[in-house]
Amino acid sequence: MESPAQTSRQEARLAAEVNEFVVAFYERTIGRADFSPSGIAEELGAPRQRAEQAVGVLRELRLVKPAEGSADRFVAVSPEAAQMELLVPLEREILDSRHRLEGFKGQLSSFVTAFEKQSRTRAETVVITEDREEIELRLLEAAQGCTTEVLVMQPCVARETSELRLARPLVLEAVRRGAHGRILYPHTARGDSDTRAHLGELLPAGGQVRTTNEVRDRFLVFDRKTAFIPAGEGDAIAVVYDGAVAAFLAGLHARVWESAFDFDSGAAGYAGTMGDLKATLLDLLASGAKDEVIARRVGMSERTLRRHVATIMQDLSASSRFQAGVLAARTGLVDTALSGAA
């Protein structure tokens, strides 16, 4: 029995081989008691090999068949008769497949109630795992069941973690199905080409995007029922099936969302958020935070951070990072900028 892939290849080959010559060859055979490929080839002024190829195509389409009592002569068959021989078995096979499909649906429906009941009374409130396949499956389950809201807080695409990379198309699909999507990025995401490309799909689908001066955490919340949060410093993810935790994260997201800046895909660069970002950098410099900590909180690489810090030091005529922060605090730059951004 031929596999579906083999059948598909055969159909594609036949479609390519049914050309004007094959049709002309078939026309010459109609109404004759029988014919030979070489005789038709001579009439058409075509090579015998080409005629034999045409006969091969016509035989597969059941439009010619061997003449009775002769191995090298053939008889033309009407398209109606060929259709009965070729298509009726296929239609019967399709009908059988439909009956089998309905049978499977009926059998599987018996398990739907049991699955939904178990989902509602899930024994495992929190699952911590590093297994990529398990994380992907749990993301898929949560995203496919999402009907009202999906909330995301994350760094830019260039710095996103593996679970966020897996979740990106699932969040987009949930938004396209009608779920209300709110995604928070740091301001630095505005300068990341990969992030802007992703938002070029998300925004037209109905998603809302804002950026903020700091993204201290990363998480996803689906329908305020299921949350995905980091589990420590490694790659482990905690999947939390607890409405109270999901609601707490949704509240945190809402508080950050209120003071965040709307993202406009048509605006270039940082689009008016550079002042807010600079104020945050000054505040963190004044606190004496290390480059690694500052870079993580504002969502940029340490290399990019050092470029921003160098510009700030030059603007303030400061000889060190700490002095820049102190000067900014003394002159009120930090407080003024932060209050203005709020």
Residue 11: give its domain's CATH number: 1.10.10.10
Angle at 86 between CA 92 and CA 77, to 5 degrees: 145
Residue 247: inside a domain, yes or no? Answer: yes
Number of domains in the chain: 3
> Token pair for residue 194?
């990969």
Residue range 277-291, pLDDT digits in tens:
777 777 777 777 787
Within-domain flag for 159:
yes
- C-alpha distances out from residue 25 to 41, 85, 255, 268, Å: 8, 21, 77, 64
State pTM to two decimals.
0.52
Number of Cβ atoms within 10 Å of the Cβ of 332: 10
184 has a pLDDT exceeding 60? yes
d(CA 333, CA 39): 97
Which residue has 């995401």 as its token pair?
189
Measured from the Cβ of residue 201, the count of other Cβ atoms closer than 10 Å reads: 14
User: In terms of domains, do 293 and 255 share one?
Assistant: no
Give mean pLDDT, residues 153-157: 78
Crossing angle (nearest 10°) for helices 274-287 and 302-316: 90
240 and 283 in a single domain? The answer is no
**Highest mean pLDDT out of 60-74, 121-135, 302-316:** 60-74
Q: Which residues pair with 261 in a beta bridge?
A: 211
Q: Is the domain of 183 the same as that of 280?
A: no
Higher pLDDT residue, 116 or 70? 70
Helix, strand, coil: what percent of the chain each, to 5? 60, 15, 25
Structure tokens at 233: 């410093």
Do 256 and 303 belong together in one domain?
no
Choose between 7 and 46: higher pLDDT. 46
40 and 163 part of one domain: no
Residue 321 belongs to what domain range?
274-341
Q: Does the structure show a pLDDT above 50 at 338?
A: no
Say whether both 63 and 149 belong to one domain: no
Query: Over 80: is that where the pLDDT of 316 sits?
Result: no
Q: Range with the lowest mean pLDDT among 10-14, 41-45, 212-216? A: 10-14
Burial readout 68-105 (b: 16 or more C-beta within 10 A, e: otherwise)? eeeeebbebbeeeebeeeeeeeeeeeeeeeeeeeeeee
